[in-house]
Amino acid sequence: MEKTIENLNQLLGTLQRLLSLHRRLLDAIRTEREALLSADVRRIHDVTLEKQGVLHEIQVAEQERVNAARTVAALLNAPADGAGLSNLILLAQAASLRISDQLRSVQQALQLLVSRIQEQNQANLRLVETSLVHVNEMKKNIIGESMPASGTYSSSGQKQNSPAQPRMLSTEV
C-alpha cells in the first residue's frame, strides 16, 4: 500500500508539472497573439522558439506521466486498458482519498487549460489566415492581378487592349 501511495504521489507530481508547462504554453500563445497583432517578426520568432521548447518539455513530461500511470495501474491491479487517468483516480480512492481528489483536481485543470490552449491557437490561426488573405489581395492590387486591365481607345476610336501592368501606389521610396 505504501508503494502505491508513493507511486500515486509521483503521478500527481508529474501531472502538476504538466499543469505548469501547459500554463507556460498558454502564456506563450497569448504572447504570440500580441506579436502577431503588432506584426513584430522578431518577437513572433522568439515566441515560436519558446513554444517549441515548452512543447518538447510537455512531450517528455507526458511520457513520464504514461510510465507512472502504467506503474500505478499495475500496483492497483487495473486491467491492461485501465491505465487512463479517470480509471486510475477511481481505483486510487481505495488507497488514498486525498491523493485521488488531488489527481481529479489536476485532471480537471489540465482539461480546462488544454481547451483554452486549443481555442487561443485557433484564434491565432484565424488571425494569420486573415492576414494572409489581406496580403495576397494587396499583392494582387500592386501587380495588377485583381482585375484585368480595361481596354482603352486609340485616336481612331478603336479599342486597344493594353497588357496588364503593375499599378504603382507611390513613387516615393
Percent of the chain clearing pLDDT 90 (strictly above)? 53
Residue 7 burial class via C-beta count within 10 angstroms: exposed 0-12, middle 13-18, buried 19 and up? buried
Q: Look at residue 156 in the predicted model and tell me its pLDDT.
A: 75
Query: In Å, what is the CA distance from 167 to each residue of 55, 134, 136, 139, 159?
Result: 45, 17, 15, 10, 21
Least confidently predicted of 14-18, 56-60, 66-70, 105-109: 66-70
Q: Which percentage of the chain shows pLDDT scores above 70?
A: 83
Domains and CATH numbers, the chain: 2-147 (1.20.58)
How many residues belong to the chain? 173
Report pLDDT digits (tens) over 26-46. 999 999 999 999 989 999 999
Q: Output the pLDDT for position 76.
A: 85
Does residue 150 surpass a pLDDT of 60? no
Task: Answer yes or no: is pLDDT of 166 > 60.
Answer: no
- Locate 128 and state its grid cell: 494569420
* Section 121-133 average pLDDT: 93
Residue 154 confidence (pLDDT) above 80: no
